Amino acid sequence: MAKILIIGGGGMVGQKLAHSLAADPFHAGDEVTLFDMAFPAEGGAPAAQKLPGNITDKGAIRRLAAGRPDLIFHLAAIVSGEAETDFDLGWNVNMMAFRDLLEALRAEVVSSAHAYKPRIVFTSSIAVFGAPFPEKIDDTFFQAPQTSYGAQKAVCELMLSDYIRKGFFDGMSIRLPTICVRPGKPNKAASGFFSGIIREPLNGVEAILPVSRDVRHWHASPRSAVGFLRHAATLDTTLLNARPALNMPGVSCTVEEQIEALREVAGNDAVALIREEPDEAIRAIVKNWPRDFAPERALALGFHAEDSFRQIIETYIADDLKR
């Protein structure tokens, strides 16, 4: 029996991950703990424990570590838009709280005389990269983020990699593409519209498009995100060759191509619900975002995403669209 801890387990991806683990006979005997500030009021994923709390609470973090989870998924974060407007909040939650978690877990590892060695899967982001970019970003392109969120994620990767290198933990960082189509309500991420322009029309609601249609970006579905996390949880990490931060696969397409995929799946009436309303603040953030990747290492290690944006829409319809 393994103890699995999902930090950020109340969020969209955390909940889907918990559902995925609960549905897997291989994990039938495992004890899954979710930690987050809030959980869905109803219909939430099953878990042995749902602990409400804040990752900036050092006492709470020490108690989580004292439970000696075998596997920790770290998904909690202040999203990009909010980290950009609230500098302190972003650095405190996205970086300092993660350092406190690493230190609390390391204390358990050391006090166990290294009998305890958890695996940590850290969800990073393609926001660790900043413009200008090559046509496709390869696996050795440098981290020069142009947002606080991206800088915080890059810092966490570097910290985790060093703790792993020193033998305190096993694990890796996975750099998620923009996750699309997110179900539910918009969040504060500047990337929210990439989901909105698909989700709202499929639900018969008007959607705002704040950027021009030629914006190209890198996407994967929530189902793929869960697949990345679960693959990272069982991967033979010696194959990472001491470079445990990895660009995940995804689909590169323009907003125009997203819209045409929506037209194929749901017709002109759906597309007519997209209203263009330029937002300079969002444009300014998005223009510094990656457009395309050559994630060769991740593909060679067996990570996989959708092959087309149409597949991403179909995944949303299958997994999340209420009918």
Contact positions vs its own copies (CB under 8 A): 87, 130, 134, 139-146, 148, 151, 154-155, 158-159, 161-162, 165-166, 242-243, 245
Strands (E) across 189-300 are located at 207-209, 216-220, 245-247, 251-254, 274-276
Pick the closer one to its own copies by CB: 156 or 261.
Answer: 156
The set of residues, in sequence order, having a beta carbon less than 8 Å from that of 269 and lying 6+ positions away, is none
- Secondary structure element (H or E) that encloses residue 124, with its range: strand 119-125
Pick the closer one to its own copies by CB: 113 or 242.
Answer: 242
Rounded to 5 degrees, φ, ψ at 85 are -90, -25
**Minimum distance between the CB of residue 132 and its own copies, rounded to whole angstroms?**
8
CB atoms within 10 A of CB 38: 9
Pick the closer one to its own copies by CB: 91 or 116.
Answer: 91
Residue 149 designated active-site: yes
Tokens of residue 193, six digits: 């519209």
**Minimum distance between the CB of residue 85 and its own copies, rounded to whole angstroms?**
11
Rounded to 5 degrees, φ, ψ at 320 are -130, -20
CA distance 27 to 1: 8
Pick the closer one to its own copies by CB: 129 or 309.
Answer: 129
| Eight-state DSSP code of residue 293 | B
Rounded to the nearest 10 degrees, the angle between the axes of helix 309-319 and helix 222-234 is 90
The set of residues, in sequence order, having a beta carbon less than 8 Å from that of 174 and lying 6+ positions away, is 121, 122, 123, 124, 228, 229, 232, 246, 248, 298, 303
Pick the closer one to its own copies by CB: 168 or 193.
Answer: 168
For CA atoms 111, 118, 105, 301, the dihedral sign is: positive
**Minimum distance between the CB of residue 170 and its own copies, rounded to whole angstroms?**
17
Among the listed residues 116, 149, 163, 316, the single catalytic one is 149
CB atoms within 10 A of CB 37: 12
Pick the closer one to its own copies by CB: 114 or 243.
Answer: 243
Whether residue 229 contacts residue 73, with contact meaning beta carbons closer than 8 Å, is answered with yes
- Return the active site residues: 149
